[in-house]
């Protein structure tokens, strides 16, 4: 087995709920992977969920009336877009 990835990891100790550990043990056996791998995946998910990104998720701005459109305005916009996509004389 190739353990080259092992040297780039850092060991740490954490306290965990015994019920959570039992679930992890079951899942590891069912999936055929180590409990440590499941815990590493969980740590990675927690890290990514709490990451602060340098750039905003949405960097573009869109023109609009500066207010939330009404339900009727949204429906009208969708109908207009469908008509443009399907072309004249096509039943939508």
Per-residue pLDDT reduced to its tens digit, 2-30 = 555 556 889 999 999 999 999 999 999 99
33, part of any domain: yes
Mean pLDDT over 74-86 rounds to 91
43, part of any domain: yes
Answer yes or no: is pLDDT of 61 > 60: yes
Task: Give percent above pLDDT 90 in the chain.
Answer: 60
69, part of any domain: no
C-alpha dihedral, 38 to 41 to 45 to 47, nearest 10° = 120
Q: Smallest Cα–Cα separation from 13: which of 43, 33, 41?
A: 43
Number of domains observed in the structure of the chain:
1
Distances (CA, A) of 71 to 21, 45, 61: 48, 37, 22
42, part of any domain: yes
27, part of any domain: yes
Domain of residue 38: give its range. 18-50
């Amino acid at each position: 087995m190739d353990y080259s990835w092992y040297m780039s990891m850092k060991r740490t100790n954490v306290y965990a709920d015994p019920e959570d550990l039992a679930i992890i043990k079951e899942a590891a056996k069912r999936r055929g992977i180590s409990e440590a791998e499941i815990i590493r995946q969980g740590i990675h998910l927690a890290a990514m969920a709490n990451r602060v990104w340098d750039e905003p998720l949405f960097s573009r701005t869109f023109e609009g009336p500066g207010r939330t459109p009404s339900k009727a305005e949204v429906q009208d916009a969708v109908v207009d877009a469908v008509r443009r996509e399907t072309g004249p004389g096509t039943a939508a």
